[in-house]
Amino acid sequence: MGEAAKIDPVKRELIKNALVSICDTMLVMIVRTARSTNIKNTMDFSAAMCDADGQLVAQGLAVPAHLGAIMPALKGCLDYFGDDIRDGDILTSNDPYAGCSHLNDIFMFKPVFMDGVRIAVQCLILHHTDLGGRVPGGNAADSSEIFQEGLRIPPSKIYEGGKPNTTLLRILEHNTRIPQRMMGDIHAQVAALNTAEKELKKLALATQVTTLQQYMAELIDYTERLTRAKIAALPDGTVEFTDWNDDDGAGSGPVKFHVKLTKKGDEFIADFTGTAPQGGGALHMNYAFTASCTYAALRCVIDPDIPNNAGFYKPITVIAPERTFVNVQYPAALGARGQGGFRVRSSVLGALAKLLPDRGAACAGGSEFAIVFAGYEGEQRKPFLHLEFHNNSGQGGGPDRDGQDGGPYCIGNLANVPVELIEAENPILVEEYAFIPNSGGPGKYRGALGIVRQYRVLAGEATVQLRSDRHLHGCWGIFGGKPGALARSVLNPGTAGEQELPSKFVRTMRRGDVFRGEMAASGGYGDPYTRDPAAVLEDVRQEKLSIKHAREEYGVCIDAATGTVDMKATDQRRAGKLTPGVSSSTPDITRELP
């Protein structure tokens, strides 16, 4: 009998679930013990498990963009230490030029040994709020070198033989503006890894080490087989798509993102040749993060029940030429690399919408907003630092439904930060947190609405840093659907000093200053004049659309007095025409500039 015949599929499923549960246990521990809002509330972290050779075998329920980030970062540590890895060691790094993604993401890896033999590696990524650098929070878009962005940790041992590396811990503590929170998060990360090690050893004893290792290898092979089968069921073809960043973060732009997506047999090739050259700011990425965001986007058209491990990546090839925006070279800054990742995502999803028009959705909106308020409060000069990412701002309209307002998307899986928590921990007043009416891209199926956050500074002054986009290039619609509303940034709205701000900036704001951030809305799917009038009326009732917007964009006439659709007037307005300037015959998703 062959080796495959020895595999019990029921046992394989049980072991898979046990490994994923261990990863999820780490995540729960982090939520319960971490100190920073971005970790314990936004949940900007991921947990995973690799085999002894560094191949991903399980991942917890966390951030999809971390799908492909674990293995390159672990490889950087394993390559550096080689045979010098012992029981009780915990390896760490945040160096993008050693496989990590950006400095705020500190990776930790705990090798697990049984009888002196390494059987697995427990893995945790946490986005730490601040590691020093020229701008609080480390996400400034205009940094030009990685040296400006904060503390860079090469592959190191934060614990060695079970004992803490007090020198490294002290360096971490003294290179952050918020040492108590930073060190609380570090210790939470270590504690979660230690707990996962104990749980894995219990599993290894219950199943026997050799059996567990056999099933780890089989899980990777099984996932590859499933992934290839699902890809093979999709139509072959080659499609290209172009999308744009407003700028490079340092004043130049727009920035072109181009992908040629080829599906042949049971494999995908995503080729980013034609993407803009490496720029001057910090929005671009290393190869590992580009690949990771590509995997996450392709995951949208592949069965969600397929496990997340190294087998999923094997049928996917990512080509990202060196010295381009999607594969920068040392010593480029990468602190705001998430922005580039969003555009990789939208480019790949645009290509998929061309390849699979019956499954594609319009562009998701708004999930590109990151803001920091930082400074010192009162006579005691107490530091405050509020970091906030909005990664769940809504989805584009799809083939059979509207985009979910405020819903998640395929790269981020982050939670919003409650207003009450922001105000309790920082000298900030959140004056508005709401959906923006009339903003969702019109279509047969409407795009999700944009979101607004409006903040008032209560401290004497604060450094405010914003990383956003879509001020110039909206979230595209398809099959005649229209783009969503553009993003806006406004200082002191409604006052004599009102000022339009760019999508990316670092500036000082004073007590009483108000910042209003309007996030881009999602694109629509299909011609708006074919939308069900009852759905338009329901949007008006929920104040998502105005009566005027319903008439002008959807051709639906609503009687304000009765709150009902005037079908005769609607039929007359819609008669014999589609929405001006659009066609429902092909997906109108080419993103070339005028």
DSSP secondary structure string for all residues of 552-579: HHH---EETTTTEE-HHHHHHHHTT--S
Read off φ and ψ for residue 190, nearest 5 degrees. Answer: -65, -45
**Is the model's pLDDT at 585 over the cut of 50?**
no
409 half-sphere exposure, CB direction, 13 A CA radius: 32
Q: CB 168: neighbour CB atoms within 10 A?
A: 17
Is the pLDDT at 5 greater than 60? The verdict is no
The secondary structure of 270-296, three-state, reads: EECCCCCECCCCCCCCCHHHHHHHHHH
Confidence tier at 2 by pLDDT (50, 70, 90): very low
Structure tokens at 210: 């050799």
pLDDT at 378 over 90: no
Rounded mean pLDDT, 375-399: 89
Residue 92 burial (CB < 10 Å; 0-12/13-18/19+)? buried
Give phi and psi for 54, each to the nearest 5.
95, 15
Indicate if the pLDDT at residue 350 is higher than 60: yes
- Do 425 and 454 have their domain in common? yes
In a shared domain, residues 405 and 537: no
- DSSP per-residue codes, 419-462: HHHHHHHSSEEEEEEEEETT-SPPSSBPPPPEEEEEEEE-SSEE
Q: What is the pLDDT of residues 497-541, one digit of tens each?
A: 999 999 999 999 999 999 999 999 999 999 999 999 999 999 999
Q: Among 227-231, 258-262, 415-419, whose mean pLDDT is lowest?
A: 415-419
List of E strands, 60-99: 90-93
* Co-location of 462 and 546 in the same domain: no
In a domain, 572, yes or no: yes
Lowest mean pLDDT segment, chosen from 12-26, 60-74, 125-139, 347-361: 60-74
Domain end position, chosen among 203, 223, 243: 223
**Are the CB atoms for 403 and 448 separated by under 8 Å?**
yes
Q: Would residue 288 count as lying in a domain?
A: no
Q: What confidence score (pLDDT) does residue 565 get?
A: 95
Q: How far is CA 466 from CA 119, 161, 374, in A?
A: 43, 42, 12
Residue 377 has pLDDT above 50, yes or no: yes
Mean predicted confidence (pLDDT) in 549-553 = 96
- In-domain check, residue 248: no
Residues 112 and 187 in one domain: yes
Q: Which two tokens stand for residue 30?
A: 């982090």
Q: Does the pLDDT at position 79 exceed 90? A: yes
Q: Where are the beta strands (DSSP E) in 472-580?
A: 488-491, 499-501, 504-510, 514-518, 558-559, 564-565
Q: 507 and 427, same structural domain?
A: yes
Average pLDDT, whole number, for the chain? 93
The span from the CA of 502 to the CA of 508, in Å, is 14
CA distances from 308 to 108, 140, 304, 352, 502 (A): 19, 32, 9, 20, 38
According to DSSP, the β-strands at 382-390 and 255-264 are unpaired
Sign of CA dihedral 351, 353, 356, 359: positive
The answer to whether 276 and 255 are in contact (CB under 8 A) is yes
Q: Per the structure, how many domains does the chain have?
A: 3
pLDDT tens-digit profile of 239-256?
Answer: 999 999 999 999 898 999
Confidence bin at 591 (pLDDT 50/70/90): very low
- 573 and 518 in one domain? no
Q: Looking at the structure, do residues 437 and 471 belong to the same domain, yes or no?
A: yes
What is the DSSP-derived secondary structure letter of residue 365? -
Cα–Cα dist 558/444, whole Å? 17
Whether the predicted pLDDT of 1 surpasses 70: no
Judged against a pLDDT cut of 90, whether residue 592 lies above it is answered with no
DSSP 18-58: HHHHHHHHHHHHHHHH---HHHHTS--EEEEEEETTS-EEE
Of 383, 387, 382, 338, the closest CA to residue 137 belongs to: 387
Question: Is the pLDDT score of 474 beyond 80?
Answer: yes
Q: How many angstroms separate the CA atoms of 382 and 180, rounded?
A: 12
Residues with Cβ within 8 Å of residue 13, at least 6 apart in sequence: none
Nearest to 345 by CA among 450, 284, 266, 259: 259
Supply the pLDDT for residue 576. Answer: 67
Q: How far apart are CA 328 and CA 277, in angstroms?
A: 9
Nearest to 531 by CA among 485, 564, 482: 482
Nearest to 318 by CA among 283, 352, 287: 287
Confidence of residue 367 (pLDDT cuts 50, 70, 90): low
Residue 578 confidence (pLDDT): 53
Q: What is the C-alpha separation between 410 and 346, in angstroms, rounded?
A: 10
> Do 505 and 552 reside in the same domain of the chain?
no
Query: Does residue 581 have a pLDDT over 50?
Result: no
Residue 290 predicted with pLDDT over 70: yes
Q: Given the structure tokens 């744009």, which residue do they identify?
A: 244
**Quick check: 137 and 387 in contact, CB under 8 A?**
yes
Distance CA 169, CA 183 (A): 8
Q: Tell me, yes or no, whether 120 lies in a domain.
A: yes
Q: Is residue 211 part of a domain?
A: yes
Which range marks the domain in which residue 515 is found? 362-527
Q: Yes or no: say if 159 and 90 are a contact pair by the CB < 8 Å rule.
A: yes
CA distance 574 to 576: 6
Angstrom distance (rounded) from CA 239 to CA 476? 17
Two structure tokens written together for 83: 């045979």
Q: Which of 181, 591, 171 is nearest to 426 (CA)?
A: 181
Could you say which of 190, 205, 223 is where a domain stops? Answer: 223
Q: Is there a single domain that holds both residue 96 and residue 209?
A: yes
Distance CA 176, CA 181 (A): 9
Helix axis angle for 179-207 and 166-173, nearest 10°, is 140
**75 and 196 both lie in a single domain:** yes
Residue 301 lies in a domain: no
Based on the fold, state whether residues 472 and 544 are members of the same structural domain. Answer: no
pLDDT category at 577 given cuts 50, 70, 90 is: low
The closest of 497, 504, 495, 472 to 485, measured between CA atoms, is 472
pLDDT digits (tens, 9 = 90+) for 143-195: 999 999 999 999 999 999 999 999 999 999 999 999 999 999 999 999 999 99
Report percent pLDDT > 70 for the chain: 95
Asked if omega into 483 is within 30° of 0 (cis), the reply is no
In a domain, 254, yes or no: no
pLDDT for position 588: 45
Last residue of a domain, one of 527, 549, 564: 527
Classify residue 307: in a domain, yes or no. Answer: no
Considering the domain architecture, whether residues 375 and 507 belong to the same structural domain is answered as: yes
Q: Which amino acid is located at 376 in the chain?
A: Y
Q: What pLDDT was estimated at residue 62?
A: 78
